[in-house]
Amino acid sequence: MKTRYIVYIALALVVGFLIFNKFHGAKDKNGGPTASGGKGKRKNGPVPVNVMIVKDTSVSNSIDITGNVDPNEKVNLISQTAGNITGIYFKEGGHVSKGQVLVKVYNQDLVASLKQNQYQIALAKENEYRSRVLLQKEAVSQQEYDTSLSNYQSLRAQGEVIKAQIAKTEIRAPFSGTIGLRSVSPGGYLSPTTPIATLVSTDPMKLTFSVAERYGPLIKPGSKVNFTIASSRETFSATVYAIDPSIDQTSRTLTVRAKASNPDGKITAGGFAKITLTLDQIPKTIMVPTECVIPDIKSSLVYIAHNGKAEQRAVQTDLRTDTKIEITQGLKAGDSLIVSGLIQMRPKVPLKIVKIIK
């Protein structure tokens, strides 16, 4: 019996202690006297922040793509006729001019035939002249004159054929440029299937790249692009001059070509290019650091400093760069945008401005 009373008393003491601790412990946490007689500390002081003064700025809407660098002109030189090579008149890797003779093939037989033809033409011309004089005097018939005239014209045509054959024995540069390594040697036999060398024109250079279909209306001849290549640390500029009229059915892209000036030969043909294509220029807009914009369910949020407290603003965004984002609605020039301490931000939180960024 006594044991039961003792249990009841113990339970009553525990319940009483819990009730006492609930009321008096809460008081201690809110700044009242503690068990040791000290005073509690308040933790609702102002939050230190940095703010940025919002201002209007201009920004370029651009995309980064890749492309290929090609020479303006490129041709693999071959011969139109077969024969032994009698001369090579270019230096490997050197510059050649348009029309310059690069290689000659044996043509002495053709030269001799041309001389023989020229003698025959001279004789046929005299015969045609005599026949024409006699025809005027009615000493020969029209048929006899026509025969002499036909013979003269036929020999002249044969001469033109021989000259064309001689021209084929001389391989000339079709345009000015830099010639590559040769694959033939003097005295070797050259056929129409034998490669001689590669000739390229490297000023200007062609830049070929593809852009997504949706960017088609924003690109036109005259548009500027900047690009870099692995063989140089410089940034080069090119101008769009041609756009493929059809869209690639597989990649849904448009092929674009631009020309880049290359007077010093710093741009190497066949290289890989990293291209920055400016689509349009926004003359007046607001750009803020990306970390200042807090995603929300319906919109995006930012905090501004107003009268010493944090104020929440809903904003609309558009263009993004590596570090900034465009605000189209919700901010105006002159607003004090909070750029630090955002984890602690709540509406009406008191602020202590540490630094102002203009």
Contact (CB, 8 A) for 182 and 196 = yes
Whether the per-residue pLDDT at 313 is higher than 70: the answer is yes
Task: Supply the pLDDT for residue 30.
Answer: 44
Question: What's the chain look like in SS3?
Answer: CHHHHHHHHHHHHHHHHHHHHHHHHHHHHCCCECCCCCECCCCCCCEEEEEEECCCEEEEEEEEEEEEEEEEEEEEECCCCCEEEEEECCCCCCEECCCCEEEEECCHHHHHHHHHHHHHHHHHHHHHHHHHHHHHCCCCCHHHHHHHHHHHHHHHHHHHHHHHHHHHCEEECCCCEEECCCCCCCCCEECCCCCCEEEEEEEEEEEEEEEEHHHHHHCCCCCEEEEEECCCCCCEEEEEEEECCCCCCCCCEEEEEEEECCCCCCCCCCCEEEEEEEEEEEEEEEEEEHHHCEECCCCEEEEEEECCEEEEEEEEEEEECCCEEEEEECCCCCCEEECCCHHHCCCCCEEEEEEEEC
pLDDT over 70 at 26, yes or no: no
Per-residue burial over 66-104, b if 16 or more Cβ lie within 10 Å, else e, is ebebbbbebeebebebebebeebebeeeeebeeeeebbb
Sheet (strand 83-88) strand order = 170-172, 101-105, 83-88, 189-190
Q: Which amino acid is at 179?
A: I
Percent of the chain with pLDDT over 90: 47
Q: Each residue of 232-243: pLDDT tens digit?
A: 888 999 999 999
Q: What is the mean pLDDT of residues 22-30?
A: 49
Spatial separation of the C-alpha atoms in residues 74 and 269, rounded to whole Å? 10
Q: Tell whether the model's pLDDT for residue 304 goes beyond 90.
A: yes
Range with the poorest average pLDDT among 6-15, 75-84, 120-129: 6-15
Length of the chain: 358
Q: What is the pLDDT of residue 63?
A: 78
Position 331 pLDDT exceeds 60: yes
Dump pLDDT digits (tens) for 237-289. Answer: 999 999 998 888 888 889 999 999 988 888 888 888 998 877 767 778 888 99
Would you say residue 14 has pLDDT above 70?
Answer: no
The better pLDDT of the pair 257, 18 is held by 257
Give the rounded percent of residues in the chain with a pLDDT score beyond 70: 87
Amino acid at 261: S
Band (pLDDT 50/70/90 cuts) for residue 43 is: low
Place of tokens 């040769």: 182
Neighbouring CB atoms inside 10 A of 304's CB total 19
Question: pLDDT tens-digit profile of 90-118?
Answer: 999 999 999 999 999 999 999 999 999 99
Average pLDDT, the chain: 85
Q: What is the pLDDT of residues 141-196, one digit of tens each?
A: 899 889 999 999 999 999 999 999 999 999 999 999 999 999 999 999 999 989 99
What's the token pair of residue 96?
Answer: 């050649």
Q: Which domains does the chain have, with CATH numbers?
A: 49-60+283-357 (2.40.420.20), 64-72+201-280 (2.40.30.170), 79-103+175-195 (no CATH), 107-168 (1.10.287.470)
Q: Are 352 and 49 in contact (CB under 8 A)?
A: yes
- pLDDT at site 317: 87
Q: Does the predicted model carry a pTM greater than 0.85?
A: no
